[in-house]
Every structure is written in structure tokens, then in C-alpha cells.
Amino acid sequence: MKIRVFENQLEAKTAAAEQIADSLDGNSAKLVCATGGTMVEFYREFCRTNQDRAIDLRGVRFFNLDEYYGIEMDPALPEGKDQSFARYLSDNLFRPLGIDVDSQVRLVPHREDGLEQYRTELACSGGELITILGIGKNGHIAFNEPGTMIEDSIRVVNLSEGTIIDNYKANFEAFGYSFDEMPRKACTIGPREILSSNRIIVLCFGKTKKHAFEQAVFGTIDASCPASYLQTHENVEWYVDSALLR
């Protein structure tokens, strides 16, 4: 495991974006993409780097890491009203980079065969598997909440109350949604798929993530902190800021 410490979030996100963009240039790869507040600026830096360096992403397939259950992307809705992670990736990554639909693999759990199709695509597409993660305050990675077992795979899960509240405050509230309208379920790839990646990049910043970071990196490997499972992988890079370590 490598821990790369930066003075601030922007420096860390820029370094991660440049590293990943360079490694994708002209290569076949599968890039599994997290969403969330942390990732917005990272994707901005990633798009900028790709444009500045004219990175060739034609061999890359992009996978949604997770998705709310029952929410389908609706391009007719204004930004913010459509809270699907598919829309988030479309707005922050695919449209700015001009990634065509055939190179995007979504998780559509409520459709028959939705999960099976995703599983097949993830297993069959060629190239290195690179997974980009954020981390929840309770140590979740993707939507693998505490209690997740290391062998758990792609599946529909119940979200913890803390995660529902965090996501409501961070995203839904400002767009006029009531707390009752919050999705209580999601679909997520599991530790099994995450740990099958060739390379895992985790972005983790600020003092609110300090406890989760410490548990994940130095704590016991167990279900109370699913991010601790990353200790079992030989190629994990953590990008953190100094505020996290203070």
C-alpha cells in the first residue's frame, strides 16, 4: 500500500488525475468510477489533464461503481434534480470528455439481467482493471456498508441511516427533495470485484474522514470497516491531504 500525502485536496486530486490519465493513454483498460463530493474536483482535473495532454481514451471502458436502486438517469431533468450516479458521471466525466455510450457500463439493478450484464462486461472487457474509490465516514467503500463480508459481490444493499443522512444533506436536500424521498437501497460492486482490480486508487480528505482512514489503513481487517479489506490488496494508492493526518 502507498500513502501519498499532499498539502491540500487540489494538489492530491491533480496528481491522481495526471497519474491515471497517463496510465490510460492509448491502452485498453476498465476504469471503475466512484461518485460523491470528493470526486467532482477530481473529475474536473482528470478532464482537464486529458484535454491538455490529448490523452487517447479510445481503449477505455468506464463502469459505474454503484447506483441508487430505483433511480434511472433522466436527461430531461435539470442537473441536480436527477440524482442518479449515471447522470453524475455523465455530467462530470462522459460529456466533458466526449465518451460515447458504448464505452459506458451502467449499473441498472432494477432491470431484469441488469446486474448480470454488468458482471459479464466487467469480466469480459479487456485490459487492466482500475478502481477509483472515495470512502464514507463509516468506512464504506462504494456502497459496501459496515457488515459487508470480504467475499461479497455485486448486489443490492440497504443503506445505513448515517449514509442516507449524509447523502441527503450533501445532494438531495438542496434540490427540494424531502428526506422521505431518499433512496434506502442501492446497488454496488462488492469487495470481491474491488479486490480483483489490478490497481485501486482511494481519495480521502479532511478531518471528517480521519477515523475511517485510520481504521482502514491501520485497524483490524474486518466487517466493521469495509475499507480495511483494502489492506489485503497489494496495489492500493491512497491520496490524502495533510488535514486528514493532523
Residues of this chain that bind ligand F6R (CB under 6 A):
34-38, 65-66, 85, 134-136, 140-143, 170
**Of 66, 82, 152, 193, catalytic:** 66
For ligand F6R, which residue has the nearest CB?
A: 134
Catalytic residue among 50, 64, 138, 167: 138
Which one-letter amino acid corresponds to residue 18?
E
Q: How far apart are the first and last CA of the chain?
A: 20
* Nearest to ligand F6R of 36, 109 (CB atom): 36
Burial class (CB in 10 A: 0-12, 13-18, 19+), 94: buried
d(CA 176, CA 147): 32
CA distances from 49 to 18, 99, 187, 225 (A): 6, 15, 30, 33
Measured between alpha carbons, how far is 97 from 57 in angstroms, rounded to an integer? 9
**Catalytic-residue membership of 22:** no
CB of 45 to ligand F6R, least distance (A): 15
How far is Cα 189 from Cα 66, in angstroms, rounded to an integer?
Answer: 6
CB of 213 vs ligand F6R, minimal distance in Å: 12
**140 has catalytic annotation:** yes
41, 45, 67, 145: the active-site residue = 145
Residue 21 or 141: the one with the smaller Cβ distance to ligand F6R is 141
| Distances from the Cα of 182 to the Cα of 13, 160, 177, 202, angstroms | 29, 12, 8, 26
Tell me the β-bridge partners of 236: 200
> Measured from the CB atom, is 136 or 199 closer to ligand F6R?
136
**Which residues on adjacent β-strands are paired with residue 155?**
188
Residue of 67, 140, 193, 241 with catalytic role:
140
Nearer to ligand F6R, 3 or 27 (CB): 3
In angstroms, give the least distance from the CB of 61 to ligand F6R.
Answer: 17
- Least Cβ distance, residue 97 to ligand F6R (angstroms): 18
Residue pair 26/56 in contact (Cβ under 8 Å)? The answer is yes
Closer residue to ligand F6R, CB minimum distance, 45 or 66: 66
Q: Least Å distance between CB 23 and ligand F6R?
A: 21
Clarify whether 138 is annotated catalytic: yes
Task: Give the catalytic positions in this structure.
Answer: 66, 138, 140, 145
